[in-house]
Amino acid sequence: MSYPQTRLRRLRYNPILRGMVTETHLRVDDLVYPLFVCPGTGVKNPIRSMPGNYQMSVDVLVEECRRAVAKGVKSILLFGIPEHKDEHGHVACEHNGIVQRAIRAIKAEISDIYLIADVCNCEYTSHGHCGTIVDGDVHNDLTIETLAAQSVSLAQAGADMIAPSDMMDGRVGRIRQALDDAGFEKIPVMSYAAKYASGFYGPFRDAAESAPKFGDRSTYQMNPANSNEAIREVAEDIAEGADIVMVKPALSYLDIIYRVKNEFKMPVAAYNVSGEFSMVKAAGANDWIDERRVMMEILLSIKRAGADIIITYHALDAADVINGQVIK
């Protein structure tokens, strides 16, 4: 008898066969593309730390949405950069707020698109924290009231899904109740359920102009060392009515994605955050890595770990690869 008996390599010689035994497939439908909307017209400000991403005025944003939909990327996650900020983030709840205007404009122009509205206060508060400050700390129960008001306002503007990213306790239940009371019982909530206090958000805070002016977010976002706590966070959000649960960031938290998927069998989203994106871009620009290949490998790993939905700034480039527009 020859040795070895098991030759796993047999399945690897032929590319057609390799295709047949591929276990994980990345689809354009899995991808959500985050975009930043700002005041003005004709504005397209490059975000220095996120090559290829821009703060866009509503008119430019609509065109970018058209470009995304043409590639098959039909889900957009919207973030706003308002004209002014206030102490409590009330600007986020205004009928004519920046994201509300953007949603109405996109919906008026494009029919086959799905708009997810990020709900948080940090882009709208003068101090950059994710809620109302009392005695130097974000006050949980006051903050969930503004988040509920923001959610209803975004739903009224036409948002298809609400995605709270603040990490206050009880906000999913409060938002669910507010949406239902306002007649939006069909609007799902995708909660940033296990969101870590991460250094990988740095470039996003340039993009959204949302860096905290004092302290950090470690009294509300999770400690990167914790895993069981993520399960508690996710369980709580599900109990409060979350339809989809998110793990964020993705790449350094693949174990959390895996655990959450296995434990709850819920639709799981993973946020491939700004810092993860920018590292790939920087190394790619220096020719230190094959950017496209690494991008696809990262996205595939997030899917393999158990994510159903991947929120990523790579969405359009990945769609080109998946659609066969570029040589792999």
Closest to 48 (Cα-Cα) out of 36, 40, 31, 39: 36
Greatest CA span in the chain, whole angstroms? 78
Min dist CB 262 to ligand PBG, Å, is 25
195 assigned to active site: yes
Q: How many residues bind ligand PBG (CB under 6 A)?
A: 11
In the region spanning residues 270 to 289, those forming contacts with ligand PBG, defined by CB under 6 A, are 273-274
233 is in an annotated binding site: yes
Comparing CA positions, the residue from 287, 288, 231 lying closest to residue 261 is 231
What is the closest distance, in whole angstroms, from the C-beta atom of residue 300 to ligand PBG in the complex? 19
Instruction: Yes or no: say if 39 and 57 are a contact pair by the CB < 8 Å rule.
Output: yes
Rounded Cα distance between 92 and 75, Å, is 21
**Burial (CB count <10 Å: 0-12, 13-18, 19+), residue 188:** middle
Should residue 165 be labelled a site residue for ligand PBG when binding is judged by CB under 6 A?
Answer: yes
Instruction: Answer yes or no: 248 catalytic.
Output: yes
Tell me: cis bond preceding 46? Omega within 30 of 0 counts.
no
Which residues in the 80-139 window bind ligand PBG by CB under 6 A? 118, 120, 122, 130
With contacts defined by CB under 6 A, name the span among 100-108, 201-209, 257-265, 292-300 that binds ligand PBG. 201-209
Under the binding rule (CB under 6 A), the answer on residue 196 touching ligand PBG is no
Selected binder of ligand PBG within 54, 204, 220, 253 (CB under 6 A): 204
**Residue 152 binds to ligand PBG (criterion: CB under 6 A):** no
93 annotated to bind ligand: no
Cβ-based neighbours of 47, under 8 Å, separated by 6 or more: 36, 53, 54, 55, 203, 206, 207
Residues tagged active-site: 195, 248
Enumerate binding residues for ligand PBG (CB under 6 A). 118, 120, 122, 130, 165, 201, 204-205, 217, 273-274
